[in-house]
Structure 1
């Protein structure tokens, strides 16, 4: 009888341990399974632009690993800061996170009064690098960047241009200082709105990410005057970079994801693991390629380092340019 009771006890113990191992990996320190329901991803730019398209594709890929839906919400404005602030104002329970692109995290806080610094985030990952270009309408009289500069020099008040947020304006601010001209920013809420400003004839040129410019360049409605990234662009290999033109200017920026710093770490780990697994998803990679956004994965620690160091570098650069005190 004792042997039988001992045998039953062993079986029950094995069942208990097995159940603990199976369910323990999906439970948080608070004891509740995570995620139990839908998660919201806030995109900090408007719909239809490269940031929005890539974020939606990534969210779709991640759903396969979390087994819950991810609702994507666009909150544009404040050169990318409005959506980030919206995300930080939500309950830090892991059910809201957002696209926290490099510029609104590392650059804009030096120029606008925003209620955050890079240390206020818990980082998920970085997942892409923006490429930028200067574009005009196909029938524009401007054939080169030098043409733009001369026109700005001759026109009272200079030339206006559109861009959806930093770091794009850095290009024109640096050109303005180098050439002693005025290039006046008309800020927009998204890449799609930036394109509309040019297509509607409201500005003579724009500075935008290649994912937003690509369809218009392919259709022949726009022309690229320069790559403002470190290398020539795949879609226009004959168009030189500003570096090659002798201006010594380039900009780099990245796409990434973050949540409120108070989200429990075990829940952040669930998100980080899911996004890392989803990065190689074929559909997501295809969207990134078509959008002309080079896909690059930065683990949470590296993405955090990039943003914090970028914040420090931006302060130095902006001060040197006379844009902040």
Structure 2
């Protein structure tokens, strides 16, 4: 009799748990959702995330918004998202810094294995850009000057992908720049516009509007081939420097997030990234749409973690 009662109790508890799970799955998202962007407002990561959030709004009736948490070349925001409750209310935008910073000693406690990847929506490559009135008209001019002058090179933070891009350029050219870190690309670009820097290494998309307005001039892109939206700008490889470094922007949730939430978010992001609204924004802002699902995203993280571990150990 006791065993029978125990079995009934266990069965009831299991049924109740399944009912609760189904109820949760049926009602998600039943509260506002935020996307943590670990870089400053106005930069490429911020603008892409805001465009994605706008395209996601139909799937989030309680609201979805971007929240910037800057510092540590992205580690502050990524750590915050990593430690968030795994309830689907916090999505974190991540970039190569997630697997780069821990190997440089600047990553705090971030660990890519504590995230569940959802999708990547964008990728882009570094561009070396100077003020429009700079005396350096070509990459050759810049490299020549660096051999005798202390050139100030701005980036989006120590240990960031754009810092690494600048380091990669100087190593390929056999010169040395003075790297100046900022809390995001937009701050570095603002300083460049004020003629406080000689150059910046950030993505072309982040400087494209100022280049087209005649305020800045991009000397070279660190890409495998010329960019479709900047066909007149040469690649470093064309100019004899074997260096190509770029970024990507993806979205994750903390490990432990229920599968039904992970699936919902993944499907919603893939749908939004394929929307005409998002693609139109990306085209206008000179950003390349590059959509990668969760399985390939995880493989990319594993692969780049190994790559940057080996690369950074040589710097």
TM bracket, shorter-chain basis = 0.7 to 0.9
Alpha carbons 1:135, 1:223 under 8 Å: kept: yes
In the superposition, the TM-score normalised over structure 2's length comes to 0.88
Correspondence for 1:96 among 86, 90, 94: 90
- Cα distance, 1:113 vs. partner? 4.0
Please state if 1:29 is matched with 2:21.
yes
- Cα deviation, residue 30, structure 1: 6.6
- How far is 1:39 from its partner? 0.7
Q: Which residue of 2 aligns with 1:272?
A: 266
Structure 1: where are the runs of 5+ without partners?
Answer: 1-23
Counterpart in 1 of 2:311? 317
Kept in 1: contact 2:122–2:290 (CA 8 A): yes
Q: Does the CA-based 8 Å contact 2:51-2:281 persist in structure 1?
A: yes
| Equivalent residue for 1:162, pick from 154, 171, 174 | 154
Cα distance change on mapping 1:74 and 1:229 into 2, 3 Å: same
Give how far 1:170 is off: 2.5
Q: Counterpart of 2:80?
A: 86
Secondary structure of 2:52's counterpart equals helix
User: For residues 97 and 254 of structure 1, what CA distance do their matches in structure 2 show?
Assistant: 16
Task: Determine the structure 1 residue equivalent to 2:14.
Answer: none
Identify if the C-alpha distance between structure 1 residues 236 and 89 changes in structure 2 by more than 3 Å, giving closer, same or farther: same
Q: Partners in 2 of 1:104 and 1:30 — Cα distance?
A: 37
2:49 aligned residue: 55
Change (3 A) 1:28 1:311: farther
Alignment partner of 2:171: what SS? helix
Counterpart Cα distance in 2 of 1:283 and 1:238: 28
Q: Which residue of 2 aligns with 1:70?
A: 64
* Shift in Å, 1:194: 1.4
- How many positions carry a matched residue from both structures? 293
The structure number with the bigger radius of gyration is: 1
CA offset digits 1:45-85 (Å, max 9, x no partner): 11111211111111111121233310210111111111111
Instruction: Please provide the CA RMSD for this pair.
Output: 1.8
Name the CA shift for 1:147/1:70 in 2 (closer, same or farther; >3 Å): same
Matches within 5 A, 1:278-317: 278-317=272-311
Instruction: Give, in whole Å, the separation in 1 of the partners of 2:69 and 2:228.
Output: 31
Distance of 2:174 and 2:290 partners within structure 1? 37
Runs of 5+ unmatched residues, structure 2: 1-17
Q: Deviations over 1:248-306 (max 9, x none)?
A: 10112211000111111221111111112222221111111112111011111111111
1:246 has 2:223 as partner: no
